[in-house]
Amino acid sequence: MADEHEKLNWREIAFIAAVGVGILLNVLGVFKTLPGTNLDTAVLLTVIGGWRIFYESLSELILHRRIGADLAVSIAAIAALLIGEYLAAAEVIFIMLIGGALEHYAVAKTHSALEKLLELAPKTARIKRNGEEQEVAIDQVQVGDIVVVRPGERIPVDGVVVAGRSSVNQAPLTGESIPVDKTVGDEVFAGTLNELGVLEIRTSHIGSETKLGQIVQLVHEAQERKGKVQRLADKYAEWFVPILLLVGGLTFAFSQFGLGLEIQQTLLRVVSVLVVACPCAMVLATPTAVVASLGRLAKSGILAKGGIYIEQLAEVDCVAFDKTGTLTEGKPKVQFVLPSDNHTADEVLQIAAAAEQSSEHVFAKAIVEEAKKRNLSIPDATDFQAVLGMGVKAVVNGETVLVGSKSFIAEQISELDEGTLQRLDELALQGFTSILIAVSKDQTPNPAHSTSHLAHSTPNITHQTPHIAHSTPHHILGIIAIADQLRNGARETVRQLKAMGIKKVVLLTGDNAAMAKRIAEQVGVDEFQAELLPQ
């Protein structure tokens, strides 16, 4: 697709350049007439360069009864040819060709979004048939096939996990900044990235039937619905062309009957009026502005689907923002640490970072990064074990450290106390992902220290947390709250939009409602919609 548009652009540029060189040679007298004939090369350039403009303007008028700016240009060029002003006709057509090329360039720029979406879909899949794995082209995969996806590979089909456990980055489809843990029974989508473990997926949808395929189809439809870049002259052509013809007629009448000029002089004056009034500047204005706008937006990392949408910005009264990577940084970070009453936040973070330093999970990286940011010394860890989609286990300073999800820690400790569960629920309601840290000592804990509670280090949680009972050698050190970070300037951007007269600012995200609500309150939007699929 990209190659086709690139070839089209180069062919168009070469054609326009050839017309321009021909006009220049004609002006210089180097190539004034065709060899062996008296035909002025400007006539040939006008016909060859302008035949499409003539055809489209007349067909619009005859078949659709629509008057466009091209009609005024066609009238001026044909009139110039009729009275022998060949060079003037060629110059008018040349200007129109440049305007058309700018339009086509603006439209071609809109295809990059579709190309990036198509790149997400793997071209092959590894399927399991008769107990053996074989790699086949994606169009050979059938509904019901078992597809095997290894760490670091993109999932080629929509389906349900039948074996394995992993974390899947669904950001390309849902915008979720935090990978989603997947295990048996969970649904996965084509184009998403399998980060850690091996997954076996029973195929439910392939090709255009997948969520990714539906998105590609939506982009196709949006491009088909989008017409040409609307030129400034087209908006006023319905009255501009009749007025232009009227002025030309008055010029003819005044010159012929009022001044008594010869017919050749009269026609020259009429054509001069038509050519001078030809809306070449207006024809070039909008596509030139659109190309400049698209280039400026691209430098800022913003992709616009076309010029028509840029024009419509002047009438916008509601702005909808995607969350991840737009209002937020799109990267999970440690927001705060809730230590138990016998520990400090830095101690909890230090021990968690020691256990997680060998892990590739995004949460592990966030914890280690925060520990380094606080200039904490991270001790070495041994006997590192990662439980896919659950957490890690490692020996730090002679103690077995557990870092992971609520279910992972609960499996190791047998049961979490009411206070810890209550705190986890509170954090979840506020849109945070909670990472629990626990340790296991060789000796039985001192009865005098058999209970503890998590310190209240966040202002949003105000009520007293019940003590945590230590019925096993394991005990909770604390909780690390992780979430996506608000982007610098996001709140100010929303404030400025409202100051400009935008009546409503909306947040759209594939993340859960609690996380969406937290970001919405921080940034100051009027409304939010969560757990949205791409379509």
Within 10 Å of residue 202's Cβ, how many Cβ atoms?
A: 15
* Best CA proximity match to 229, nearest among 315, 316, 294: 294
| Secondary structure (H, E, C), 490-524 | HHHHHHHHHHCCCCEEEEECCCCHHHHHHHHHHHC
Q: In what order do the strands lie in the sheet with 527-529?
A: 318-322, 504-508, 527-529
N-to-C CA span, the chain: 23
Rg (CA), the chain: 34
CB-based burial, 405-441: b 16+ in 10 Å, e otherwise: bbebbeebbeebbebbebbbebbeebbbbbbbbbbbe
Cα–Cα distance, 518 to 327 (Å, whole number)? 12
Cα–Cα distance, 429 to 191 (Å, whole number)? 30
Cα–Cα distance, 79 to 81 (Å, whole number)? 5
* Best CA proximity match to 393, nearest among 356, 366, 367: 356
Query: Of these residues, 181, 234, 317, 322, which one is catalytic?
Result: 322
User: Residue 475: which H helix or E strand, with range?
Assistant: strand 474-486
Structure tokens at 365: 């990286």
Which residues lie closer than 8 Å to 208 by C-beta, 6 or more apart?
214, 216, 217
The 8-class DSSP code of residue 446 comes to: P
β partners of residue 132: 129
511 classed as catalytic: no
| Secondary structure (H, E, C), 74-133 | HHHHHHHHHCCCHHHHHHHHHHHHHHHHHHHHHHHHHHHHHHHHHHHCCCEEEEEECCEE
Written as one letter, the residue type at 337 is V
What is the residue whose two structure tokens read 């490692």?
A: 394
Which residues lie closer than 8 Å to 282 by C-beta, 6 or more apart?
69, 231, 232, 233
Structure tokens at 366: 């966030």
Cα–Cα distance, 474 to 275 (Å, whole number)? 89
β partners of residue 126: 135
Catalytic residues: 322
